[in-house]
Amino acid sequence: MKKSLAKLCLAFAAVLLFTVPQVSQAKELSGNLEIFSWWAGDEGPALQALIKKYKEQNPNVNVIDATVTGGSGVNAKAVLKTRMLGNEPPDSFQVHSGQELIGTWVKADRMEDLTFLFKEQGWMDAFPKGLIKLIGTDKGIWSVPVTIHRSNVLWYVPANLKKWGVAAPKTWAEFLTIAPKLEKEGVVPLALAENWTVNHLWESVALASLGAEKWDALWAGKLRFDSPDVVKAWELFGKILKYTNHDASSLSWQQATDMVITGRAAFNIMGDWAAGYMSTTKKMVPGKDFGWEPSPDTAGEFMFLSDSFGLPKGAPDRDNAIAWLKIIGSKEGSDAFNPLKGSISPRMDSDLSKYNSYLQSAAADFKKDVVVGSLAHGVAANETFMGGFSRIMEMFLKTHNAQAVSKACQQLADKAKIGK
Ligand code: GAL
């Protein structure tokens, strides 16, 4: 009886083997796949891991990894805009979940609806509802999320703090007390880099000063940018800027992180791609070689952002792009990418044993903290607002006039239809 059952099983397996083609063979994809992002150089290893997975399944596709260097996409976004307006879209491009996607590319009717893929791949239940809402409208779902990054993190090297006799500040008041002491030691209190990192610092300070509820109210159009609350946030920001390095505008975010690693600076506020840089590129051990805290006065608050990839209308290699999106959204792809990148997976079933201690702590915080959206990385506002905000920031760096920039921000918010 047992023998005949075994024979039957063997026969069945043989039939399956010869008649059912494997998924990758069934598609027989070939030609090119051009993916566009700013994950070059130090930011490249995680993307390479995803491309490797894609190539395993689609060996005949030639992947063109079109990267334009520059943190937070400062250069890539400009190149992308030119290509999209010239009707030369890549097959798939990196875009932040939230207003950068919806208020820019979806509004301009440049993206394909991916609802069919979400249904087919079971992603409606794999990604948090709140995130799907952020990449969706009543007309569709417009990208596939690949990361959850945290923006409000303070980084430091524990051994250096010990040497200087200071602790990581939990509040900005504490920071402003220890900063002069650090300066006396010849240490830059807070490392800063090129202009977008100034916007990045601003959002952590504004969140600290306003609190999560008012931060959300600002982007919902319910709190004015020229209100006393927001003026106060700019004033605090001005005080903090005094303790940053003078060569900031000529440094990349990695170089600002290097300042902390080498002991030229005590702290840096940066998204947790800095954890990716320190652990993947610099081989530093989280908790030992580098430490972290929520940026001052933001404990219990998780300012998040999410990188995603979309399918532009007119993508030259649409089928290859869809296969790419499937890899990005898969548990396997996500868990190969995020541990190297310094981000957590947007999937709710991610395998946390693959992640280091910093990322495990980020995953725990993401579950229990109050989650708010980043401005500097596309969640809170569209590209019109962001472009104008960068110019206003330059004005602030020259004048330190909190009243004037607050007024300018309100005018910009009206123009960019924030909260409308
Ligand atoms: C962010 C992006 C991150 C990381 C960072 C630095 O905008 O979401 O994934 O690449 O810029 O370039």
Rounded-to-integer distance, Cα 151 and Cα 195, Å: 16
Q: What is the pLDDT of residue 7?
A: 53
For the chain, how many helices (H) and strands (E)? 20, 14
Name the residue with the closest Cα to ligand 1, atom 1.
Answer: 72
Q: In this structure, what DSSP letter does residue 290 have?
A: B
> For residue 307, which atom of ligand 1 is closest to its CA?
8
On the question of pLDDT at 56 being above 60, the answer is: yes
- Report the pocket of ligand 1 as residue ranges, CB < 6 Å: 38-39, 43, 71-73, 147, 149, 271, 273, 305, 307, 377
pLDDT of residue 20: 41
Maximum Cα interatomic distance, the chain, rounded to a whole number of Å: 89
Query: 136 pairs with which residues across the strands?
Result: 141
The whole model's pTM is what?
0.93
Question: How far away, in angstroms, is 246 Cα from ligand 1 center?
Answer: 24
Asked whether the beta carbons of 190 and 244 are under 8 A apart, the reply is: yes
- The class level of CATH for 31-148+305-367 reads alpha beta
CA of 384 to the centre of ligand 1 (A): 19
Residue 369 tokens read as 């903290």
pLDDT bucket at 1, cuts 50 / 70 / 90:
very low
**In this predicted model, which residue has the larger pLDDT, 212 or 420?**
212
Average pLDDT over residues 331-356: 98
From the CA atom positions of the chain, what is the Rg in Å? 23
Give per-residue pLDDT as tens, 111-168: 999 999 999 999 999 999 999 999 999 999 999 999 999 999 999 999 999 999 999 9
Beta carbons of 313 and 112 less than 8 angstroms apart: yes
Res 356 pLDDT > 80: yes
Q: How remote is the CA of residue 18 from the centroid of ligand 1, in Å?
A: 46
Q: Report the C-alpha gap between 3 and 49 in whole angstroms.
A: 45
The whole-angstrom separation of Cα 110 and Cα 375 is 22
Architecture (CATH level 2) of domain 150-304+375-416 = 3-Layer(aba) Sandwich (3.40)
Are residues 219 and 380 in contact, defined by beta-carbon separation less than 8 angstroms? yes
CA 36/CA 137 separation, integer angstroms: 24
What are 217's two structure tokens? 């109210």
Residue type for 97, please?
A: S
Sole residue written with tokens 């969140």 = 207
* Helices of type H across 369-401: 383-399
Residue 171 tokens, joined: 């509040």
Q: How many angstroms separate the CA atoms of 289 and 280, rounded?
A: 13
Rounded CA-CA distance 380/216 in Å is 9
Residue of 201, 273, 359, 386 best suited for mutating to test ligand 1, as the one with most atoms within 8 Å of CB: 273
DSSP, residue by residue, 7-50: HHHHHHHHHHHHHS--HHHHH---EEEEEEES--GGGHHHHHHH
| Strands of 61-67's sheet in order across | 61-67, 31-37, 92-96, 307-310, 144-145
> Which protein residue's CA is at the shortest distance from atom 5 of ligand 1?
72
Mean pLDDT, residues 247-255: 98
Q: What's the CA-to-centroid distance between 403 and ligand 1, angstroms?
A: 30
Asked if domains 31-148+305-367 and 150-304+375-416 share a fold, the reply is yes
Domain boundaries, the chain: 31-148+305-367, 150-304+375-416
Output the CA 73–ligand 1 centroid distance in Å: 7
Q: Tokens at residue 397, please?
A: 């760096």
As given in the structure block, the two tokens for residue 404 are: 């004037």
Is the pLDDT reported for residue 205 higher than 60? Answer: yes
* Protein residue closest via CA to atom 2 of ligand 1: 72
- Phi, then psi, of 236 in degrees rounded to 5: -60, -40
